[in-house]
Structure 1
Amino acid sequence: MLQKTHSAAGLVVAEMVLIYEDVAFLSWEAAGAILLGCLAGPLADVDKQGSTMAKILFPLSALLKVLKVRHRTLTHSLLFMLALLLLTLPLPPLYFLVFMAAYASHPLIDLLNVNGVQLFWPLPWKIRLLPKYLAVDTGSAGETAFQWMLVGVGLWIPFSNITF
């Protein structure tokens, strides 16, 4: 999936955490959480040379390239998420939840992709949730539709939580 799709998923996840934590959407805390969600969503693609995250985090991307880490392996794995969980524990609870949930949304969405994900890396098994004929190709019309659905949900959530 593309960076825009993962950012939209990060937005939706951040908004769901804000509702769960009962944080007002019109607050600086919420703004920070939403920004964090939009950045953490596509972060796992730091392993894909040429991606937005690889360009932003070039030193990390270069290290992954030197270590010959392939796309949708280490950075998309449960093992890596466990390491991130330990690294981000010192964050304030709201931002910890947003970061981890938005990051986890990335491999979850990539499980819908034709190529699947090595979720249990270093084991070589690639997992895909949909049969190949239903799976979503990166950059396809199916991904664009999914992306717009996420954006629509992301726009709807703040207004659905308003009480008069």
Structure 2
Amino acid sequence: MLQKTHTLAGLLTAECVVAYYHQPFLTWEAGAALLLGCLAGPMADIDKKGSTMAKVFLPLSWALQLLRVKHRTVTHSLLFILALFAILSPLPDLFLWTAVLSYASHAFIDMFNDQGVALLWPWNKKIGFLPKFLAVDTGSFAEGVIRLALGAAVIVYPFVGGGLGIG
């Protein structure tokens, strides 16, 4: 999936976490969590040379390239998500769960693609949700529909699901 799809998935996930913690959306904390979700959503693609995240976090991307990390393996795995949780565990719960779940949304969304992800890495078998003939190709019309649905949900959710409390 494209970076903009992952960004929207991360943002929607962050909105859900903000609502779960009963944090009004119009606060600095919620704003920081939403920004974190936008960044964490596409972050797993740091292992893909030329991706936006690889360009933004170039030294990390280079390190992954030197280690010959293949796309949709280590950075898309449950093991990596658990390691991320352990590293970020000192953060307040709102930010911890926003970062981890928004990051995890990336692998979840990619599992609708025919390539799947190595969710159980180091076992390199790639797992996907759909058979190849139903899978969503990156940049396809189907991905555009998913992105449109995610965008609509991002706009609507704070009003119907999360409440827009001011403080």
Shorter-normalised TM-score: what interval? Answer: over 0.9
> What letter matches 2:34 in structure 1?
I
Specify the alignment match of 2:135 in structure 1: 135
Q: Give the 5 Å matches for 1:21-100.
A: 21-100=21-100
**CA deviations over 1:86-142 (Å, ceiling 9, x no partner):** 100011110001001100100011000010001111112110100111110001111
Tell me, in whole angstroms, the C-alpha distance in 2 between the residues paired with 1:122 and 1:116: 15
Per-residue Cα deviation, 1:14-42 (whole angstroms, up to 9, x for no partner): 11011110000111111001000000000
Q: Which structure 2 segments of 5+ residues have no match?
A: none
Cα distance, 1:162 vs structure 2: 3.6
Which residue type is aligned with residue 40 of structure 1? A
CA distance in 1, matches of 2:164, 2:121: 45
Whole-Å separation in 1 of the counterparts to 2:52 and 2:65: 15
- In the alignment, structure 1 segments of 5+ residues that lack a partner are none
Please state how far the C-alpha of 1:163 moved relative to its aligned partner.
7.9
**Match of 2:15?**
15
Task: Quote the Cα distance in structure 2 between the aligned partners of 1:141 and 1:94.
Answer: 34
In structure 1, the residue corresponding to 2:61 is in which secondary structure?
A: helix
Instruction: Tell me the distance in 2 between the aligned counterparts of 1:33 and 1:76.
Output: 21
Please list, as runs of the form range in 1=range in 2, the aligned pairs for 1:79-158 lying within 5 A after superposition: 79-158=79-158
Give the distance between the partners of 1:102 and 1:24, measured in 2 at CA: 19
Name the % identity. 53
In structure 2, do the counterparts of structure 1 residues 156 and 69 end up closer, same or farther at CA, with 3 Å as the change threshold? Answer: same
Q: TM-score, normalised by structure 1?
A: 0.97
Give the aligned residue type for 1:80. Answer: F
Measured at CA, do residues 139 and 163 of structure 1 come closer, stay the same or move farther in structure 2, by a change above 3 Å?
closer
Aligned residues: CA RMSD: 1.2
Length, aligned pairs only: 164
RCO comparison, higher one (Cα < 8 Å, 6+): 2
